[in-house]
A and B are shown apart, each in its own frame.
Chain A
Amino acid sequence: MYFWKCWRDTRSFFIVFLIIAAIVMPVAAIVCVGTHLVEDFGTSAFSTTFGLILTAVALGLGAVGAIHEFADKTAHFLFTKPRSRAYFVWAGWAVGFAELAAVAAVNFLAGWATLSHYSKNPFHSALNGSMTAQNFLDDLIFCIWAYCLTYSLTVLLRNGLKGLGASMAILFGLPFFAAAVRLRWHIDLPLFPGLPLGSLPLVVSNIIWILIAMFFVLAAQLVVERAEM
């Protein structure tokens, strides 16, 4: 039943972005096919559109998914139900994650189907740039990271706007922080979640990024379990 309630809380947001993903990606594909002659512009624009839509969904779902239990002051109702607080934290997270995955799938499939139509070959992109599956995977891991961070901060701060603000500050402050560290101490920190960590293989880096994202949710769970209402 809690899954149903989480779905009900987030479905409007989810459906709107599902529609956006289904419309914008074919449009982006059509535009990008027409501009691919300008070096790799088409490729990068297409990949960026994919990433931007998913980032907006990740940030939004992270805040919307967790806001209802705390900002609405209904925790005393929920936490007197015979389920552990961990269940509620992870159930809310799981529903948002499933929605994020669904938008990512529609986002990707809509773009891929359009590009396939133009290239007359489903396994060949009409865009000639160096876009690979890795581009999409990087975006996906960044969005999972953003989603987990926003969800956790919203749970911890008990406020959707504060959670979203703090999450955006961290995500967009990270490259500046990394640049400052490189300038001052000549140490290379990863600029964005999803990019390789030092000399580690990409698969290992991605696993580490995902584990860090899951750690945020785990930390939120531990705090909620100890919170006094």
Chain B
Amino acid sequence: MNELAIDSKDLTKTYGSIRAVGGINLSVPRGAIYGFLGRNGAGKTTTIKMLLGLTRPTAGTAKVFGMDVSTECMAILRRTAFVSEKKTLYPSLTASELVRFSRGFYPTWSDSAVEKYARLLEIPMKQRFEKLSNGNQTKVWLLLALSQGADLLILDEPTTALDPVSVDQLLHVLAEDGLDRGCTIFFSSHQLEEVERIAEYAGVIDRGKLLLESRLDDIKSEFRLITAAGNSLPTQTSPQVLSVVTEGNFYRYVVTKDADSFASGLSQNGATITNVATLSLREIFLQLVRKEQ
């Protein structure tokens, strides 16, 4: 059995001369919560559209549960729930009617889940979609996705327009209920704190290139900020050194791996290591993106 829920090889999408996604290799393990991070226009939504068959890849392949997105789209959609970045739905339908509409497409649909999430997320089910606030429109999308009984949840910016309480509820639901069911959750976001809170895995995409993909714990344990005092210390970046900032005799290095050996190398050059600190996901993300720029 394929252990990956999503597996892409050199997945590429170009629009004319614009390369929206440039050959990314995604590996999302089954049952994992995977945060797909990137700035606006980084290629997150285009990648998701390719996974769902809304857009055809220009090159490369992508498989969801071992099924090719180009040839087995229907089978993939049967097992996948999706929350779009654009939270538009049929304006004249109420949330109850949207449930009625969606229910028929999925044999695994759960009405008890509808009741549960409608209550939990406090969704006015009898109100027309167009009359709902942006936050409630987002919640309706989430309700429909969560009630589907899908094996894979693909959420594109799911917390857009949600208030902090609703974000908290949603993250709780995803982390608890999703994992209880063994569901794989792939969500794109630029809200790094949310990803940091619930994701086990993270991938960082920028300008269509996957800059990093790993377990979140591994990412955090590998990246270090080393502050050293000394004269004429190295200032070049390298695959190991993401950035160097100097302030007088102080040098701040962001190191991607083997921080201890790098620090001892600096010591041998006469530097005094004043601090070795871990980085938050936000800091790591910013460092990666800045380096790419």
Chain A contact residues, CB within 8 Å of chain B? 1-2, 4-5, 8-9, 68, 72-74, 76-77, 79-84, 228-229
Contact = CB atoms under 8 A, between A and B. Distances in A.
A77 B140 CA distance: 12
B103 A1 contact: yes
* Of A76, A79, A83, A84, most B-chain CB atoms within 10 Å: A76
B86 A79 contact: no
The 3 A-B residue pairs with the shortest CB-CB distance, nearest first, are A1-B104, A82-B77, A229-B54
A72 B92 CA distance: 11
Interface string B29-59: 0000000000000000000010011111000
Contact of B101 (A4, A73, A79, A82): A4
Contact of B56 (A5, A77, A84, A228): A228
Contacts of B74: 82-84
Contact of B84 (A5, A68, A76, A83): A76
20 contacts: A1-B100, A1-B101, A1-B104, A2-B101, A4-B100, A8-B92, A8-B93, A68-B90, A72-B90, A72-B91, A74-B90, A77-B88, A77-B89, A79-B53, A80-B53, A81-B77, A81-B105, A82-B75, A82-B78, A228-B55
Contact of A229 (B49, B91, B97): B49
A82 B106 contact: yes
B102 interface: yes
A79 B105 CA distance: 12
Nearest to A226: B56
B49 A74 contact: no
A83 B49 contact: no
A81 B54 CA distance: 11
Contacts of B86: 73, 76
Interface in B98-117: 100-106
A9 B77 CA distance: 25
B105 A82 contact: yes
A41 B241 CA distance: 92
Given A76-B84, A82-B74, A84-B74, 9 more contacts: A1-B101, A2-B101, A8-B93, A72-B88, A74-B88, A76-B54, A80-B82, A80-B84, A229-B49
Nearest to B90: A74
A159 B106 CA distance: 29
Nearest to B77: A82
A83 B77 CA distance: 8
A81 B101 CA distance: 11
Contacts of A4: 100-101
A13 B106 CA distance: 30
Nearest to B76: A82
Contacts of A80: 52-54, 77, 80, 82, 84
A81 B105 CA distance: 7
A79 B97 CA distance: 18
Contacts of B88: 72-74, 77
A76 B86 CA distance: 9
Contacts of A81: 77, 102, 105
Interface string B53-89: 1111000000000000000001101101010101011
Contacts of A2: 101, 104
B54 A79 contact: yes
Contacts of A73: 86, 88
A73 B56 CA distance: 19
B52 A74 contact: no
Contact of A74 (B53, B75, B89): B89
A116 B75 CA distance: 56
A202 B91 CA distance: 45
Nearest to B141: A77
A80 B77 CA distance: 6
B90 A229 contact: no
Contact of B105 (A1, A68, A74): A1
Contacts of A5: 90, 93, 101
Contacts of A1: 100-105
A89 B80 CA distance: 22
Nearest to B88: A73
A68 to B, nearest CB: 7
Contacts of A77: 84, 88-89
Contacts of B102: 1, 81
A76 B97 CA distance: 18
Contacts of B84: 76-77, 80
A79 to B, nearest CB: 6
A228 to B, nearest CB: 5
A194 B216 CA distance: 68
